[in-house]
Amino acid sequence: MQKRRRINPPAIGKDFSISRLVDETFLAYNSARLREAAQLLARRIMKENVTVGLSLSGAMTPAGIGTSCLVPLIENGFVDYIISTGANLYHDLHYGLDMAMFSSSPNLDDVELRRHSVVRIYDILFDYDVLLKTDEFILGLIEAPSFRRTMGTAEFHHALGEAVEERAGALGTRDRSLVAAAYRLGVPLYTSSPGDSSIGMNIAAKALLGSGPCIDPSVDVNETASIVLDAKAEGGRSAAWIIGGGSPKNFLLQTEPQLQEILKIPESGHDYFVQITDARPDTGGLSGATPGEALTWDKVSEEGLPDMVICYLDATVAVPLLTAYLMENCKPRPLKRLFDRRAVMLGRLKERALAARNGIGPDAENA
């Protein structure tokens, strides 16, 4: 007999906390999946020996989710590294640079908006000048000699975050930017498609004229794999918290095939999986792919599969509720500051990969 629970919720009163609302009244359909996700995060994933990777797609930071949710999550040690679309990190800069975004209506005249140099993301509006000023900030920064070299996106975003932190400190917006907070807290920020955003476009413009950084995606592939390998060392665990889907989801989950399939290092897959998405599985896209499908690729562990959760819900609804639930139920975790440990973790990954290739040590059987 499968586990079951009688649906007998209390009446919602004015003194209801987020925890009571989720635990006692989210009992069916996607409210129940959100409850399962919240409880999995709070009771099992937020242990000190779990390394939490979060992937981020969709226009989350323009909607304020970076400021309201992601910054508090990393400040409290609830997220240890992030893989994001470049667009989310680009639009996050507007907040750190104190550029205004406005809540409006999706039913406006777009021709009229364009005539007045107003940009629309569904029901979010901002002046076209916001883009130009943000581009100016990025272009001025990457003109510096220190950027004229090859690097991965974590190193690039760390340097970008340092500059945003400095500017935000003068503007009084230090707590508004995810990029700045990640720099301050040692949380690596990766972009799975570094050319697919205005940040990438600005880098490309500099490259065209013979300056600026060269972004090497191979650095990111190996660094993220080394984070997962390090997470699983000495009985530790790895969690994938997926907001949306797309390329960031795959980049987070492919760390395990990189270890097992490519580098021949024995591994068992991510231990925990929580996804908030509106994508369907039956179209065959990665965004809607289930944990069970991921298991066939060795992306997640068979042991953890029964507790893995997909919630089909708008992330702008789910993520604030999950963030509030964690704040009520979990003590802050010590910061892992994975950015500061990248070289050490990468060195260990290289040692294990060489041992596997040369038939030495515990990895030799799969070499």
Query: Residue 299 catalytic?
Result: yes
316 in a structural domain = yes
Long-range contacts of 100-106 (CB under 8 A, 24+ apart): 100/126, 100/127, 100/130, 101/62, 101/64, 101/125, 101/126, 101/130, 102/126
Q: Tell me, yes or no, whether 170 lies in a domain.
A: yes
Can you read off the two tokens belonging to residue 189? Answer: 């920020």
**Has residue 164 been placed in a domain?**
yes
CB 280 within 8 A of CB 316: no
Nearest by Cα to 72 from 178, 216, 172, 191: 178
Q: For the chain (length 367 residues), average pLDDT per consecutive 10?
A: 82 94 96 97 97 97 97 98 97 96 96 97 97 96 93 97 92 90 98 95 95 96 98 94 95 96 94 94 86 90 90 96 98 98 97 90 56
pLDDT of residue 283: 86
User: Among 16, 24, 32, 34, which residue's Cα sits nearest to residue 322?
Assistant: 34
Q: In this predicted structure, what is the pLDDT of residue 173?
A: 81
User: The domain spanning residue 289 has which CATH number?
Assistant: 3.40.910.10
Residue 364's pLDDT is what?
56
- Give residue 367's pLDDT: 46
Determine, yes or no, domain membership for 14: no
Q: Please, are residues 32 and 57 in contact by the beta-carbon 8 Å criterion?
A: no
Whether 189 is covered by a domain: the verdict is yes
For the chain, the C-alpha Rg in angstroms (whole number) is: 21
Its pTM stands at 0.94
* 267 phi, psi to nearest 5 deg: -155, 170
Q: For residue 304, what are the domain limits?
A: 29-366
Cα–Cα distance between 21 and 133 in angstroms, integer? 42
List all residues 6 or more positions away from 173 whose beta carbon is below 8 Å from its beta carbon: 95, 96, 97, 98
Of the candidates 299, 331, 336, 350, the residue annotated as catalytic is 299
SS3 at position 311: strand
The number of folded domains in the chain is 1
Residue 19, domain member (yes or no): no
321, part of any domain: yes
Asked if the structure places residue 1 within a domain, the reply is: no
